[in-house]
Structure 1
Amino acid sequence: MKLSTLNIAKTLRPKVVIVGAGSGGMSTAARLARKGHYDITVVDRAETHYYQPLWTLVGGGQFNLSDSGKPISSLLPKSATHVKENVASFQPADNKITLENGSTLNYDALVLATGLELNYAGVEGAKEALKEDLKVCSNYSPAYVLKTFPAIKSFKGGKAVFTFPPMPIKCPGAPQKIMWIANDIWKNDSSVGKYELEFNTFLPVIFGVPKYAEALMKLVESEKVNLNRQHTLVEVDHLSNLAKFKKADGEMYETNYDFLHITPNQRPLKLFRDDESQLTDAAGWVSVNEKSLQHTVYENIFGVGDCTSIQTSKTAAAITSQHAILCENLEKFFNKEKFSEDYDGYTSCPLVTSQNTCIMAEFGFGGEVMESTFLNQGKNRYSMYLTKKAAIPFIYWQLMMRGLWAGPKPLKPLTNPFNWN
């Protein structure tokens, strides 16, 4: 496979352009800035950076939306520049990108950290229902997450429906986390009458890793959840309170709802879906070596996070390891050293199961369990809930956003010395 020819200017400060100011882009900028010898530019029109994993708890009434966001200007390293534009096109053979305002930026290395696109329009009637129906909500967007808790509190019984769309999606545990939180609220509210929980998932299982799926299935049984496997939401008729699903065999399933949480279809950005410069695979994901994070065609391009082709769950936890390996290999690239191929697919999904319990799923490529503590993390624990609610957000803002956190792996000899899982 032919790699592009890189013409690096003779400078002590190689120019690194990072496209995207989400978790991957900001953590990469912070980590590179600590090295002190890069000219760093972050390209993104956004002015607010969100810690999106907190939105489950925002929807569950435990945090305000404002708790999940900070101005990018307050997080960006002082040595970095924020270009408040979006990218229109890439010219990787010329080491250049074109912005939507028509200007161009040259780079010595390019980091793609754009995230993915929420496609609410992929479900007929979903956007209208989210706009007009107080019973319909979604934790996946700041535009809708504030609807969730009022909808939970207004529910007085009937059928509560939760959805999981075709993969890949970011944070695959989130579609059911809000179900467990809502269920716990309703069970403890005497004003709520009889109700039925229904979880409709595109997947053939409740969760992709058998150890955690087994624990979750026990909850499904104890809480009497109607679990519909391989059911994909295709239409919402909010005027009739009707959700329509397509089953794996092509047949349709319809159900009425008194509460509906929609997890939207998700896809690569249009920028990549329309790309013709060999940056993406056939599906539109940025094509990288999943162990080194280097692009499979262009040697001076790297990818991190949700926009990439890496075959692991798209979570902020995955980025903790990915961005550190990316930064290490970017340094090796400029020094003409052999790359590290150390990314093992590590990701984590704190599966919140009530208002105060959590199953802390940690796994890697192929669903290999990779737990960081000596505890059995396949059990509901209050300690893991506190980790999700307090410890992880602190680590994210105070360490990861400062380039000081590369995931729990370095601590594992202390926290799980015998690798008990």
Structure 2
Amino acid sequence: MHLTEILRSTSTRFLNIWDSYGKLCEYDLYDKQSGSYTIIFRPLISGNHKIDIRIFDRPISGSPFIVDVTKHNNPLWSFGKRGRGENELSMPVSVIVDDRNEREHVYILDPGNSRIKCLTIDGKFIEHLATDSLVESTSTGLAYRSSTSTFYLLDWKSKIITEFTTLNSNSSTTNLIQSQIQINHQITCSLFQEPVQIALFEQHINSLLICDNNTLLIIDNRTGDLINKIDTRSFGIKTIKAFTINLQDEIIISDHRIHILSYDGKYLRQISSINQQQIVDVDIHITHEPPDLIASHHKQSSTIHQHTKSINNQIIKGGFYTALCVDKNGLLLAGKCEKDGNAHIEIYDNQGHLLRIIDSYNQRLRRPCSLATTQDGCVLCVDLTTDSVRKYRYA
């Protein structure tokens, strides 16, 4: 008899999960149709949780299982340190995820070594793209459109944007797949002064967004002709620290705040800073003694709300938002550098509500400069100061 059949036929629960206060937790059970099962539950507090699994009222081998739930969100893996080797980076500035196939690939722009590095989604080195002399130390922007498998590489010194695709070929000596690049075309814009970053629109597929000398330029990706110029100083934004584009083609930019503009450059709204709103879902720093409350996707109880003020007071330190990205569900992820030298990643819903914070407690972030999300609810973060890329779960 299958475990799922036993569950249906018995009047008592065969699986119980207790939190550190002895309260039963809700869970979901999935039959993988292979003799194994997946149990998913979301803890509401930190501390040891006990999972008791029984068949015909007898515990299975190893039951009860103890799961230590932490209130911190540490990286699943970290790749890189300063150097020139296969597993090293020098001044990485951008990360993208190629999700066109079931096996996602991660690409890191590594201008200090004049190369683009390719990793598996598990952080294992695959190869360096055969870009010849295309990538220089002055290459600062990399973007990718999965629908056309097209890369866009920006060099601030030459002021050239190169559109290219990759071609895979098998090496007869190593039996590995090596990617050659095929340059489709190159463009520039007469208004370029110091173009440093590039982003792609979802709906206006022939438009590119360029950050140039704290001005936003929208150009045609075929000719380089200017479509629109947005001077953010008219909105009181003197320095653009990061920018991205959401699913509705709204432009999101940041300094010490996060601002949202329309495609044609009209100021729409500002996302409330962390000290101006309650945290709906947070992964760090509840101030009472362990076991500590951890946020969930469920509505928070009054117990959590009464701690909101102390949470906010603990993590408000000023600083700037230095990395932005929007995932496939419209969630906004924002990397923020604090004045004390530490950094974290904030996650907002499409209404601008703060859902949670990735604190990377045991491996502190210093200077997040690029973010990219994966299909399985993880975010990749380039940490410029430590010459590394880290992967975190956020959904």
Q: TM-score range by the shorter chain?
A: under 0.3
Q: TM-score, normalised by structure 2?
A: 0.25
Higher-Rg member (1/2): 2
Between Structure 1 and Structure 2, the one with more helix by share is: 1
Structure whose residues are more often strand by fraction = 2
